[in-house]
Structure 1
Amino acid sequence: MRERYASGISDDTAKKMIELLNANLANVIDLTLDGKQCHWNLQGKGFIGVHQLLDDTADRIREISDTIAERIVILGGQPNGLASRVAKDSILDDYPTDITEVDQHVREITDRYKKVAETLREAIDTAGDAGDEDTADLLTEASRIIDKDAWFIGANAPKK
């Protein structure tokens, strides 16, 4: 473990938080890639609005990735965002490559956003229980952003 910059956190807690953050980093990176896969392949009514929205949401998720990675370094760890790590550790299944319609993509990507947000909320509790309120706060902000983007994207789904 590198030198820790966060004070008041034990080495054991820092190690646990590094693992927790790296796991969530894999999910967030995968979500970014899924969003781009969706962005590149959707077609149909409402295409341009969703297409542009997905660019905006990808930018926000990349900021979340950077913030998570920086926190890992602050805690003395090494962020691991390698494609092989993301593929191995992400909670998300491979994005379907056989869909094209906007409605199909909106449902698929919205579900993925919700799944990542749920995992972030579980991590918030874990960080809080470990006494690392800074990590819990970071994850809370990430969860808020991803929840909001899930709502923005999901608002493009047809009403049932």
Structure 2
Amino acid sequence: MNNEKIIDIGTQIVSKILDFPIPELYIIEQSKLPNKEITGIYSFGENEIIFNEEWVNRSQWIEVIITVFHEMRHAYQGYCIRTKTRESAETIKAWESEINCYIMPSGKNNGIDDQSYLTQEIEIDAIAFAHWIVKKEFDLKTVIPDLIKKKVNEKIKTFEIIGITQINL
């Protein structure tokens, strides 16, 4: 199965689990992205997920599906903000504040340079969601940066408590 099909399947899985519409999806040249380390990015303003074409073409399926789950969680965050539904008013307000003052990754792909990026609540939420779904659906663990491991694990517990339904692939 090619990675474009993985993107399609992954977006459908999350759309069903979280019951919200799939945003527009694009695969573009790496040179058109803010930095070459970006694998995928969600645009709140445009409600679209953009994937790095070169990265998609050279990556293993599991890396692609992790990115899809992560970016789809950002799309869900955007949906909640736009509709003012699904999450608490406090959560929506925090997510909206971070989206309005979003800190991009440095492009250096390390925890020290990316501390401000990684510690945003919207990133912790998306990392935790992707980790949780990959573990639940494929019984695989993803790497969680030490800097945010405690917060990510706390967030994963909330997903387990609310009991998001498993989708059979």
Structure 2 length as normaliser, TM-score? 0.30
- Higher relative contact order by CA 8 Å / sep ≥ 6: 1 or 2? 1
Q: Look at both structures and tell me which one has the larger radius of gyration over its CA atoms.
A: 1
Structure 1 length as normaliser, TM-score? 0.31
Higher strand share: 2
